[in-house]
Amino acid sequence: MKVLIIEDNQELARNIRDFLDREGYICESCDTLEAAKEKLELFQYDCILLDIGLPDGNGISLLNLIRAEYKDSNVLIISAKNALDDKIIGLEKGADDYITKPFHLAELHARIRAVYRRKNLGGTNIVAFNEISLNTDTFEVRVLDHLLDTTPKEFDLLLYFIVNKNRVLSRQAIAAHLWGDYTDNLANFDFVYQHVKNLRRKISGAGGVDYISTVYGLGYKFNAQ
Amino acid sequence: MKLTTKFTLWYFGIMLFVLLMGGYIVYYEIQNKLSRVEVVRHQRLNDLIAGQVRAGGDYSNHPTRKRATVTPIPADSVPRGISTYYTRGIGWNPEFQENEYRLLVTSFYLIHGQWYRITTYSFIPSFYQLLPGVVDSFKWIFLLLLILVIISAGLISKYILAPFKRTLRVIQSFDLKQKTAIRLPDTQTSEFRELNVFLQKMTEKAREDYRSLKEFTENTSHELQTPTAIIRGKLDLLMESDIRDEQAILIAETQNALERLSRIHSSLTLLTKLENHEYEADTRVCISQLTRETLNSFEELIQLKSLTLMTTIAEKIYVPLHPSLADLLLTNLIGNAIRHNMPPADFGEEGAAGNGLIQVNLTREGLIVVNTGRKPQVPTAELFERFKKGNSGSDSIGIGLAIVRQICDLSHFTIDYQYRDGFHCLAVGFGPRVAASKLLQNLSLPLHSRA
C-alpha cells in the first residue's frame, strides 16, 4: 500500500512512517500543501493522511482537489482540533475517516485498513488470518469454519488485533479503540482484561490457536509466528 | 413599570399638588379682591356721605343712607393712624330675611371741628358660596390636563424613546459569536448617543475577548495535542523494541500519565467550549432513542460487571439539546453508573448480596439514573466540581460530572445528586421548571436483591 503523509510536524510524520514501514507500506511524507500537490501529480497513493492545519493553508482545501482529481485515494483526516465543525466539513467534503490527535499508531493503522477495506475489496470484506476469518459486514467470526459467538466489542477487539498483529497493543490503545475518546477509560482496563480473556477462551474453545499473549506490564500482542 | 407610566405618574402627582395650591391661591385671591373692590366702593360712598354732612341738610331719606350710619364721636375715641377700616362677618339681611355675609366699612371724618364715624355695609357672596365654583373649575382643568398628559406622554415617549427601543432590540439580539459588529441607530438625544457609543464599545470588546479566548483554546488544543501525539507514538514504537520488564513498567506508567494528561486536556477544552456556548441547541433530539443506544453500547460492560439493569424509557421524548451534548450527557451518566457500581455485598451492607443495580428512568419530566455504590466521601453536591472525586482512590480524573453539570446549565436543565441507602441517585430535569430534586423525591428506590 502506498501512503502519503501530509503533516507539518516532522516528528509525528516520522512516527507514522516508522510504524507503517513495518507493515510493508511505502510511505512518503511532505509538510506543505504545495509539496503535497506536487507529489499527488507525480504518484498515485492508496491512502492519504491529511493534517488539517498546515503552514501554507487549510488541509480542507486540498481535500477538494483530491476528490476532484484523485478519486481512488482514501483520505484520512488528522486533526488536533477536535472541533465538531472540522469533523463534519471534512466528512462532507469526502474524507473517508477522521482521527483526532493524540492517537495511538495502532488506531491509525486500524483506521487506514478499515477505509482501505471498504473501498478496495469490493464487497467481500473478509479479513482472514490462518484459521480465523472475520466478516466485517456481518460481524461474524469463524474459527476453522465454526461460527464463534462473539459480542460486538470482542469482534472489534479481534479485528484490531489481527490488523495490528505482531505488535504490542497497550491497554490504553485498546480501551480507546473500543470505547472512544470521551469516556473516562482510565478505569476501563479491567474491562479490557475481561474482553481479552473471553476472546481467548472462545477462540481456544473452537479449536483455534491462542495467538494472543500478555506482554508484561504493557498490554497484549497477537503473535502471528 | 414602564418608563412612560412612571413619568406620567410623577407628572400626575406634581399636577395634583400644583392644582391644589393653585386652587387655594385662586380662592384666596378672589375673596380678597372682592372685598377690596367693595371696600373702595364703600369708601367712596363714605366720602360722599361725609360731603353731605359737611354741606348740611337732611339726607336721611337719601338713597345713600340706606345702609349707612353716621355717628358723631368724641375726638379721643378716634383711632390713630387710620381713617378707614373694614370688618367682615355674618349679619342679618332684612331684605332677604337671612343671615348673610356682610362687609362693614368704617371711616372717620373731621367735619367743622366734630369727628364723625361713618359706617356703610353691603352683603357680598360668602366665601363658602365661592368655594364650589373654584373647586369645580379646577376639577375641569385637572381633568383636561390629565387627559392631555396621558395622551402626550404616550405620543412623546414613543417619539423620544424610539432610538432607545431600537438600541434595546439590537442588544437583545446580540450574540457573542456574531461575525459583524452591532449597528445601532443614529439619534439626536445625547444620552442615547452616549449609551450607543458605550454599547458599541462594550459589545466590540466582548466579541474581541470571546474571539481571542476561542482562539487561545483552539491554539492550546492544537499545540498541546501534537506533542502529546508524538510522545504517544514514540511510546508505541518503543514498546515494540526489545525491552526489559522494568523498562516495560516504566513505559506503562508513562503511558498512564500521558493518557491522563490528554484526557484532562480534552475534557477541559470541552468544558471551555461549553462555557463559550459553542454547542447551541438548534434542534430537538429524541432522548429516548439516544438513551437506548447508549445503554446498548454499554451492554457488554454491564454484563462484564454482572450488573442488573432496570429501565423504564418513555417513547418519543424530545429535548432541545445539541446531539453531541446529549450523547456526552448520557455517556457520562451511564458510564459513571457502571464504573462506580458496587454490588451491595462488596461494601458491607448487612445481609445484602447479589448483583449491583442500575436503574434508568426516562420520563417526560426528566432522566433518573440510580446505581448501587460505595458511600461517597464528600457531599454529593461537591462532586459536580472539577477534579472532585467521591473516592480518592479511584482511577478516574473526576471531570465527568462537571461536564454533565455544564451541559445541564447550558440547556437550562436542573440536576440533583443524592446518596440514599447505598444508592446513588442522579436526576436531570428537562427544562428550568422541572426541579430535579423533586424527581428524586418521588423516586421509589429499587429493593436490594437480598439473598
* pLDDT at residue B391 is higher than 90: no
Question: Is the CB of residue B276 less than 8 Å away from at least one CB of chain A?
Answer: no
CATH of A2-120, one of 3.30.1860.10, 3.40.50.10470, 1.50.10.10, 3.40.50.2300: 3.40.50.2300
For A80, the closest of B226, B255, B259 (CB atoms) is B226
Name residues whose C-beta falls within 8 Å of residue B101's C-beta, 6 or more positions apart in sequence.
Answer: B88, B89, B90, B91, B123, B124, B125, B126, B127, B129
Q: Which residues pair with B21 in a beta bridge?
A: none
* pLDDT at residue B396 is higher than 70: no
Question: Is the CB of residue B263 less than 8 Å away from at least one CB of chain A?
Answer: yes
pLDDT for B90 equals 87
pLDDT for B393 equals 54
* pLDDT, tens digit (0-9, with 9 covering 90-100), for B255-295: 888 888 888 887 888 887 787 777 777 788 899 999 999 89
- d(CA A170, CA A199) in angstroms, rounded, equals 17
CA atoms within 13 A on the CB side of B331: 16
- d(CA A170, CA A218) in angstroms, rounded, equals 5
Asked if A212 contacts A221 with a C-beta cutoff of 8 angstroms, the reply is yes
Q: Take residue B81 and report the three cell numbers written for it.
A: 393712624
Please give the torsion angle defined by the CA atoms of residues B264, B270, B274 and B278, in that order, rounded to the nearest 10 degrees.
Answer: 160
- d(CA A191, CA A154) in angstroms, rounded, equals 11
Q: Take residue A57 and report the three cell numbers written for it.
A: 493553508
Q: Provide the pLDDT confidence category of residue B350 given band limits of 50, 70 and 90.
A: very low
- d(CA B64, CA B151) in angstroms, rounded, equals 58
Look at B176 and B141; give whichever has higher pLDDT. B141
pLDDT for B214 equals 79
Contact list in A for residue B270 (CB cut-off 8 A) is: 82, 182
Quick count: other Cβ atoms within 10 Å of Cβ B328? 22
Name residues whose C-beta falls within 8 Å of residue B250's C-beta, 6 or more positions apart in sequence.
Answer: none
Question: Is the CB of residue B293 less than 8 Å away from at least one CB of chain A?
Answer: no
- Interior CA angle at B6 toward B1 and B11, to 5°? 160
pLDDT for A159 equals 93
Where does B53-148 show beta strands of DSSP type E? 68-73, 84-93, 98-111, 114-123
* pLDDT at residue B17 is higher than 90: yes
Top residue of A17, A153, A172, A174 to mutate, by most chain B CBs within 10 Å, is A172
Q: Take residue B112 and report the three cell numbers written for it.
A: 367743622
Q: Report DSSP state, residue B377.
A: S
Q: Take residue A20 and report the three cell numbers written for it.
A: 507503517
Q: Return the minimum-mean-pLDDT range out of A4-8, B235-239, B355-359.
A: B355-359
* pLDDT, tens digit (0-9, with 9 covering 90-100), for A54-104: 888 888 888 888 888 877 888 998 887 665 556 667 777 788 888 888 888
- d(CA B428, CA B415) in angstroms, rounded, equals 5
| Position B123, amino acid | F
Domain ranges of chain A: 2-120, 126-222
Name residues whose C-beta falls within 8 Å of residue A40's C-beta, 6 or more positions apart in sequence.
Answer: A4, A48, A65, A66, A69, A70
Nearest-CA distance B419 → chain A (Å): 22
Query: Structural domains in chain B?
Result: 3-150 (no CATH), 190-275 (1.10.287), 284-441 (3.30.565.10)
Q: Take residue B297 and report the three cell numbers written for it.
A: 453500547
Percent of chain A beyond pLDDT 70?
A: 91
Contact list in A for residue B235 (CB cut-off 8 A) is: 170
* pLDDT at residue A185 is higher than 70: no
CATH hierarchy code of domain A126-222: 1.10.10.10
Nearest-CA distance A208 → chain B (Å): 23
B224 → chain A, closest CA residue? A80
pLDDT for B394 equals 58
Nearest-CA distance A183 → chain B (Å): 7
Average pLDDT, chain B: 85
pLDDT for A199 equals 93
Instruction: Tell which B residues from 349 to 388 touch A, by Cβ distance under 8 Å.
Output: none
Cross-chain residue pair B229–A80, CB shorter than 8 Å: yes
Q: Return the minimum-mean-pLDDT range out of A108-117, A153-162, B221-230, B318-327.
A: B221-230
For B304, the closest of A167, A184, A194 (CB atoms) is A194
Average pLDDT in the B145-169 region?
Answer: 87
For A182, the closest of B237, B331, B395 (CB atoms) is B331
Name residues whose C-beta falls within 8 Å of residue B167's C-beta, 6 or more positions apart in sequence.
Answer: B184, B185, B192, B195, B196, B199
* pLDDT, tens digit (0-9, with 9 covering 90-100), for B189-210: 898 899 999 999 999 999 999 8
- d(CA B322, CA B315) in angstroms, rounded, equals 19
For chain A, give the longest Cα–Cα distance. Answer: 56
Average pLDDT in the B42-64 region?
Answer: 87
Q: Do domains A2-120 and A126-222 have the same CATH topology?
A: no
For A102, the closest of B228, B279, B399 (CB atoms) is B228
- Interior CA angle at B24 toward B19 and B27, to 5°? 120
* pLDDT at residue B447 is higher than 60: no
Cross-chain residue pair B230–A9, CB shorter than 8 Å: yes
Look at B234 and B441; give whichever has higher pLDDT. B234
Q: Provide the pLDDT confidence category of residue A106 given band limits of 50, 70 and 90.
A: very high
Nearest-CA distance A98 → chain B (Å): 15
Asked if B365 contacts B429 with a C-beta cutoff of 8 angstroms, the reply is yes
For A217, the closest of B233, B249, B400 (CB atoms) is B249
- d(CA B431, CA B158) in angstroms, rounded, equals 36
Alpha helices in B240-286 (DSSP H): 245-275
pTM tops 0.80, yes or no: no
Contact list in A for residue B237 (CB cut-off 8 A) is: 15, 18-19, 105
For chain B, give the longest Cα–Cα distance. Answer: 159
Contact list in A for residue B399 (CB cut-off 8 A) is: 184
- d(CA A194, CA A6) in angstroms, rounded, equals 38
pLDDT for A121 equals 61
pLDDT for A117 equals 85
* pLDDT, tens digit (0-9, with 9 covering 90-100), for A35-62: 999 999 888 898 999 988 888 888 888 8
Q: For cell 387627559, what's the residue?
A: B147
Nearest-CA distance A80 → chain B (Å): 5
In terms of average pLDDT, the best of B15-29, B205-219, B345-359 is B15-29
Nearest-CA distance B189 → chain A (Å): 44
pLDDT for B449 equals 45
Counted across chains A and B, CB pairs separated by less than 8 A come out at 124
Cross-chain residue pair A12–B233, CB shorter than 8 Å: yes
* pLDDT at residue B363 is higher than 70: yes
Q: Take residue B279 and report the three cell numbers written for it.
A: 454547542
Q: For cell 364715624, what's the residue?
A: B117
- d(CA B342, CA B134) in angstroms, rounded, equals 90
Interface of chain A against chain B, CB under 8 Å? 9, 11-12, 15-16, 18-19, 22, 53, 80-84, 100-106, 151-153, 167-168, 170, 172-173, 181-184, 186-188, 190-191, 194-195, 215-219
pLDDT for B9 equals 87
Cross-chain residue pair B269–A82, CB shorter than 8 Å: yes
Q: Provide the pLDDT confidence category of residue A160 given band limits of 50, 70 and 90.
A: very high
- d(CA B53, CA B51) in angstroms, rounded, equals 5
Contact list in A for residue B395 (CB cut-off 8 A) is: 186-187
Cross-chain residue pair A9–B331, CB shorter than 8 Å: no
How many Å separate Cα B15 from the centre of its chain?
Answer: 30
Distance separating the N- and C-terminal Cα atoms of chain A: 22
Instruction: Tell which B residues from 75 to 94 touch A, by Cβ distance under 8 Å.
Output: none
- What are the strands of the beta sheet with A219-222, ordered from one edge? A168-170, A219-222, A212-215
For B240, the closest of A81, A167, A191 (CB atoms) is A167
Contact list in B for residue A81 (CB cut-off 8 A) is: 218, 221-222
Quick count: other Cβ atoms within 10 Å of Cβ B134? 19
